[in-house]
Amino acid sequence: MKTNKPATRHTNPYAHSPRPFSARVLDGPERAPSRAMLYPVGFKPEDFIKPMIGIASAWSMVTPCNMHLDQLAREAEAGANAAGGKAIVFNTITISDGISMGTEGMKYSLVSREVIADSIETVAGCEGMDGLVAIGGCDKNMPGALIAMARLNRPAVFVYGGTILPGCITGDSRNLDIVSVFEAVGAHAKRRIDDKEFQAIESCAIPGPGACGGMYTANTMASAIEALGMSLPNSSAQNAISEAKKEDCRRAGATVLEMLKQGLRPLDIMTKSAFENAITVVIALGGSTNAVLHLLAMAHACNVKLMLDDFTRIGKRVPVLADLKPSGKHLMSELVAIGGIRPLMKTLLEAGLVHGDCVTVTGQTMAETLVDVQPYPQGQTIIAPLDRPLKKESHLVILYGNLAPEGAVAKITGHEGLRFTGKARVFDSEEQAMQKILSGGIRKGDVIVIRYEGPKGGPGMREMLSPTSAIMGEGLGKDVALITDGRFSGGSHGFVVGHITPEAYVGGPIALVKNGDPITIDAEKRQINLELSTRELKQRRLAWEAPRPRYTRGVLAKYANAVTSASLGAVTDQNLHP
């Protein structure tokens, strides 16, 4: 990969004042009421001349992914204060995909990305914060925080809350995680495990704080953000409960103050080349399909032109190297133990697959941050060498065809084959499909079609972890395919295709599929087609009627009205840019 010239820095707004935003709120006799409000929350007179640093914490007891972030926020606060700033901790929301998966509540998941972005932008913008540290543990926290950072374009660092440790059952050598529980549902329904083992897996899989333990969406997005240059080295590969993670937070707080001095801002860092680095690392790690959706949305916030076809272009030359769950054997905590993603990134840099001249939050280029990184230990089996990859090209395959004229995203690792032809089994919701799967109504050769689950149609584009896991648990992973205008959890594996666009709700071809229709998915040709004549499809389109909105009030209705296609990142401000 050719390297580009380093991004030209914007004019430094901090050259004459390290407090260009907080000064407007706090300086001068007329701002005395503003200062008065801050004494009760811990300000002293000398604090009013320091840069104000917001610490956005996604702490919540809603989910183990985020239950420890309040402690990490205090570490970031201490780091910022010690470096000469005055930090203010504030919260944003989080939801739990794992808890809401398969229910109506999951429709709020992708919506939460927009709420998080809006809330961080609102607080930092309103209060005149000069810089920002954002700490997130679940996958929507991360793109939400980065979108807000791009909009504000003030010195900022993202901190990942860290990965969970594996769960285990006494006397059982298996490393368990949340996907183990989802797959146990299918295995239990098929009577492949008994009630006792089912209960043991349920109660032991989640041992404490941290994000889901495989290369699922949280660990994928943390790795992508580090590759993007917006977090400190190693932030993506640390255990949630560790001294390394506390130190990461303290350093992040101090780094924002240094960025203020340099005039280094997010839009200096999040360039097209930096996004290409993020895509490269996601592919090499075998990361989640959600990375496509989130990176498109993050790039949109940066006014960077990133498209689905960029994933294809980069994917043709970047191999899959990581043997990580869900398709592989290992957990993120095992990758942490051998050095995290830094040695992998150095390998990719030396192979010309990473832009080394992209600037990072450290003020150094990506290449400079990798100079002293040591290789993985001899004999490790988690990261394959470049000359013996697990897959020569990307597992994230962008498909087009008469079923997805605007594109779809498949996760094809090679374990499930490269081509699938079968007969459609059509369901107009995830619940309908799940009922049929668990009752034994799915057969070898079926292509399960779950529609009206797109960004507008759901609304909210639910993840299909429950049906994909049930399929795997029933032992049908290599025998059936599942396609949807919804999306997938990073924990999903099997022959799955999501993000089919246009979605059913707006009259996309997936809305016209009937039971028994032949469907062919070809990863090598990058096509997904409904094997019907153009004439038949036209006749069906004439007979199709648009469904009524499922929600007419509240946040889901607002989201459905504003959201764009998944092929554009499912953003909610597409028409607001000049």
What residues are annotated to the active site? 489
Q: Hey, which residues does 86 pair with through a beta bridge?
A: 52
CA distance 349 to 37: 50
Residue 111 buriedness (CB in 10 A; 0-12 / 13-18 / 19+): buried
DSSP E strands, 472-562: 481-484, 495-501, 518-522, 527-530
Enclosing H/E stretch for 400: strand 396-401
- Strand 86-91 relative to strand 52-57, pairing: parallel
CA distance 265 to 286: 30
Residue 244 buriedness (CB in 10 A; 0-12 / 13-18 / 19+): middle
Q: Long-range contact list for 244-250, CB < 8 A, 24+ apart?
A: 245/72, 245/161, 245/162, 246/71, 246/72, 246/75, 247/75, 248/159, 249/72, 249/73, 249/75, 249/76, 249/79, 249/133, 249/135, 249/159, 250/75, 250/76, 250/78, 250/79, 250/82
CA distance 286 to 138: 18
In this structure, are residues 325 and 384 in contact, taking their beta carbons and an 8 Å threshold?
no
Helices 272-284, 342-350: crossing angle, 10 deg rounding: 110
Q: Is 93 helix (H, G, I), strand (E, B) or coil?
A: coil
Which residue type does 234 have? N
DSSP letters, 405-431, are: EEEEEEE--STT-SEEEEEEEEESSHH
CA distance 500 to 86: 47
Closest by CA position to 287, among listed 225, 224, 381: 224
Closest by CA position to 489, among listed 510, 508, 470, 504: 470
CA distance 248 to 387: 33
Q: How far is CA 435 from CA 189, 428, 452, 468, 544, in A?
A: 11, 12, 17, 13, 25
